Amino acid sequence: MKYSLKYTGPKPLYTATGVTFHASKADKYIYLGTLAELIRALDHEYQDNQNYITQTEQRLYDEKSILALIRTYIPNLNEKIEEWIEKTTQKIDSDIMRAQNNLILNDETREILINNIEWIRPYQIQRTINKSIYYAGVEALAIIVKQRHIKYISTPIDSKLLHILHSLRGPLRQLHPPFDSKIEIYKKQEHLVVELKILN
């Protein structure tokens, strides 16, 4: 099955009275362009004990190029997406079953709740696709850190880069052997910098 990226929006919350959106739970789609830039910037040959400064290109990556890039590192991307979709589908189906068996709601309210859950299903599935591709991209970053023996990643403070570096710590711990890391934020030449350090 072919999957595509498409911005959806924040996490939905559905009730018998309607659907609201959790503004603080952003769609992972918004990080994918920055993630693609970071993958491209870090995957090159390094000389021992030498610092490298790489400028990201500030280019806009379209959905197809992001997918193609991540797929070069994660060849089983479709299987990973399918696993995420299966979990989300099970959760939605479970919510519908709970609504059907809810004895507190009357028939009309129960039907409204079920319709709200079904109405938001495609939205949730697309968010899940975006999320699964994001985490596959972060896994690709972890692979690059290991293969290229990267000791640290230092960037100007940026909310998207900070989010990605925080996400990267999980896949680094799942490597064999696992890599411990820590994030520090400090001031350098009057500018805030975020740095992910590999500790082993």
Decide if 171 is inside a domain. Answer: no
Decide if 139 is inside a domain. Answer: yes
Average pLDDT for residues 117-134, to the nearest whole number?
A: 97
Question: Interior CA angle at 144 toward 199 and 63, to 5°?
Answer: 130
Give the total residue count for the chain.
Answer: 200
pLDDT at 133 over 90: yes
pLDDT over 70 percentage in the chain: 94
Average pLDDT for residues 152-175, to the nearest whole number?
A: 95
Decide if 74 is inside a domain. Answer: yes
Give pLDDT tens digits for 21-62: 998 899 999 999 999 999 999 998 877 766 666 555 556 789
Give pLDDT tens digits for 55-88: 555 567 899 999 999 999 999 999 999 999 999 9
**Bond into 177 cis (ω within 30):** yes
Q: What's the whole-number average pLDDT of the chain?
A: 92
Is the dihedral angle over the CA atoms 17, 23, 27, 33 positive or is it negative? positive
Give pLDDT, residue 84. Answer: 98
Average pLDDT for residues 106-122, to the nearest whole number?
A: 95
Decide if 35 is inside a domain. Answer: yes
Decide if 25 is inside a domain. Answer: yes
Decide if 49 is inside a domain. Answer: yes
Decide if 28 is inside a domain. Answer: yes
Q: How many structural domains does the chain have?
A: 1
Instruction: Domain of residue 86: give its range.
Output: 11-150
Higher confidence at residue 131 or residue 1? 131
